[in-house]
Structure 1
Amino acid sequence: MKLELDLPDMDGRSATPVRYAGFWVRFATFVIDSLCVALFVSIPLFFVFGSGHWQMNIPLDGQLPSPEQARELLAQLRLIMAQVITEYAILLVLYAYCWVRYLGTPGKLVLGLQVVDARTLGPLSVKQSIIRYLGYFVSSLAGCLGFIWVGIDARKQGFHDMMAHSYVIYRRD
């Protein structure tokens, strides 16, 4: 079902037709973006950080680790955390830049979608972009209910969209 709604301009005079992007097209953009992230972020980081730290091969046999094993486990956990934090920080910068500059990530652009400010239908601010990205973590809670909500909400907003006051709409030409 395609939902179209006329939103008043800031001065309240004319209306701009807006078509909200639903769950499945947004899921497709997620798949495209995930492939881009894997190719251009995750795989390069894999080579930077190496792969050995993902294999915690310290047999404990139900016993407490020795001090040496504990130090090794801690070192491995630190490396894993460094990689995860680095990847999330890179993604925050990339996603925020794409939303502010291009109104969407590569997946959204390929499928003709835009991420816009809910009030102005213009680009998101940097603050909104950061809130939207952090909102992804909120949307992931409780079985990804915040993402599933896109299929339920009249304006097709996930929790992250509501937090950032954003819409995902079909490109207006």
Structure 2
Amino acid sequence: MSERIVYPSSMVEGYERDIINSTHAGFGVRLVAFLIDGIVVGSLKAIILNPLAKLFDWDLSSYVWAPIFSIENIASSMIFFLYFILMTWFFRATLGKILMGLKVISANDKPLNFLQVVTREWFGRYISGFPGYLLYLVVLFNPNKQGIHDMLSDTVVIYERQERLRDRLMAPFMKQNSTL
């Protein structure tokens, strides 16, 4: 089993640590990106579900056992999670993040793998959604500006325009870790 690379911002002192951490996106910009994504997902649901309901003569409010298992809830959940998983996997950002200049990277500076993306965008978002999205507030208090979904998947959200600066500052530490 390979040894995990220590996140360099904990190894540097002073202004370099401040610069590295300033590349991490905070709560406000991430909230705006999430609201944009909410509009996109809502639009996708309307574009996909309404025509399908008419085509197949579905009653979207019909359910099995409990209202939570209605066709509309199941299909809406699939659209929501697939949007976040596929966008993050292929583009390392959703449309909201792209518009805000953000992207998701692995905290240990390895390429994102599919398990990380699924953990972050499915399990992490599901957990962070309880109760009433309050667990997203963890980003406000975490020194690395990570939410529950980021911590579970070992990811961070960074400003794309500052990525090269961050990479240059971290390069010596990454070389040091690779020789260990």
**TM-score greater than 0.5 by the shorter chain:** yes
Provide the C-alpha distance between the structure 2 equivalents of 1:155 and 1:76, rounded to a whole number of angstroms: 40
SS of the residue aligned with 1:168?
A: strand
Provide the C-alpha distance between the structure 2 equivalents of 1:53 and 1:110, rounded to a whole number of angstroms: 32
Identity, in percent, stands at 26
Correspondence for 2:83 among 69, 78, 94: 94
Q: 1:142 to 1:83 in 2, by over 3 A?
A: closer
Q: 1:118 to 1:142 in 2, by over 3 A?
A: same
Correspondence for 2:27 among 16, 23, 27: 23
TM-score by length of 2: 0.67
Residue of structure 2 in register with 1:166 after alignment:
155
Q: 1:123 to 1:87 in 2, by over 3 A?
A: farther
Determine whether 1:127 maps to 2:131: no
Q: How does 1:30-109 map to 2 (within 5 A)?
A: 30-49=34-53, 52-54=59-61, 74=64, 77=67, 81-109=70-98
Greater alpha carbon shift after TM alignment, 107-116 vs 95-104:
95-104
Q: Could you list the runs of 5+ residues in structure 1 that have no partner in the other structure?
A: 9-14, 55-71
Provide the C-alpha distance between the structure 1 equivalents of 2:20 and 2:144, rounded to a whole number of angstroms: 13
Q: Which has the higher strand share?
A: 1
| One-letter amino acid of the counterpart of residue 20, structure 1 | H
Highest Rg: 1 or 2?
1
SS of the residue aligned with 1:155?
A: coil
Provide the C-alpha distance between the structure 2 equivalents of 1:73 and 1:85, rounded to a whole number of angstroms: 10
SS of the residue aligned with 2:71?
A: helix
RMSD value over aligned CA atoms? 3.2
Determine whether 1:151 maps to 2:147: no
SS of the residue aligned with 1:98?
A: helix
Q: 1:123 to 1:86 in 2, by over 3 A?
A: farther
SS of the residue aligned with 1:17?
A: helix
Q: Which has the higher helix share?
A: 2
Contact 1:21 1:170 in 2 (8 A): yes
Q: 1:153 to 1:106 in 2, by over 3 A?
A: same
| One-letter amino acid of the counterpart of residue 126, structure 1 | F
| One-letter amino acid of the counterpart of residue 77, structure 2 | Y
Q: 1:32 to 1:48 in 2, by over 3 A?
A: same
SS of the residue aligned with 2:158?
A: strand
Deviation at 1:132, TM superposition (A): 0.8
